[in-house]
Structure 1
């Protein structure tokens, strides 16, 4: 399968799920501030993470996981990464491609609810650290 590297600022061109999620979020004002495929650099010596979808002000990362995330090692790596991001103060939501493609309204509602909670509680302390 041919895959293209992600381009910062837009959903992956080879991900039907990312494209569908962007179409589902686009009509909503509350979804403003989202950034696709951003690199999150939290420390000069720390591992930089590429986030599928990120609201930097609110500190919300959304990951859209394809089949490559199903293996035992990939699953463990994703959990370790999620814990590190959570320790840095981010909330991390993970959805499978199938969830996005078959029930986009539920995915969008989950994002909306968590964004509302993050916004009512203030901003994320590392909100401007993307490149």
Structure 2
């Protein structure tokens, strides 16, 4: 049971962060299209470098367990802001689902803020033996 307690937070951090790592990386080759989409939604396209950096660096910090509480706080805020600006069309079922996905992800980040990265993390000195 100790293995689960020690390694489940690492697996959870990887799973919750992968969506941000992939989303941030996918915005690089589709930079202009993403900028156009942001502008169409009323968000300045000039913020795209900040968005990409937040998604990629935040995801890597969470995965590695580095300054986890700070990274989780930033990505929780990012998730809520993204939900409001990009997925608040509740007449569209897909957008409603995406809105709730962002809210659920925020809930996961709140657990990280409260509990920290766990046993296997840079924050905890990266122990791997029990």
TM-score after normalising by structure 1: 0.31
Q: Which has the higher helix share?
A: 2
TM-score of the aligned structures, taking structure 2 as reference length: 0.31
Structure of higher CA gyration radius: 2
